[in-house]
Amino acid sequence: MAIKTMTGATTGQNPYSKGWHTVTITKAEEGNWNDTKYIDVFFDGYKENFKLRVYPKYNATTNEEFAVARLFKLANAGIISVLKDETGNKPVIQYDDNLENLAGKKLNVFVVPDKKNDKYSRIWDRFAPVEQEGQHLTYTADDVTYYKGQAEDAYNKFGKPNSQDKTENWVHNNAAETKTAEEMPF
d(CA 43, CA 22) in angstroms, rounded, equals 10
According to the model, what pLDDT value does residue 169 have? 45
pTM of the model: 0.77
According to the model, what pLDDT value does residue 173 have? 39
Q: Where are the domains of the chain?
A: 19-157
Largest CA distance in the chain: 77
How many residues are there in the chain? Answer: 186
If pLDDT is split at 50, 70 and 90, which confidence band does 127 have? very high
Three-class secondary structure of residue 100 per DSSP: helix
Quick: pLDDT tens for 51-93.
999 999 999 999 999 999 999 999 999 999 998 877 877 888 9
According to the model, what pLDDT value does residue 16 have? 83
Quick: pLDDT tens for 30-56.
999 999 999 999 999 999 999 999 999
According to the model, what pLDDT value does residue 5 have? 57
d(CA 134, CA 156) in angstroms, rounded, equals 31
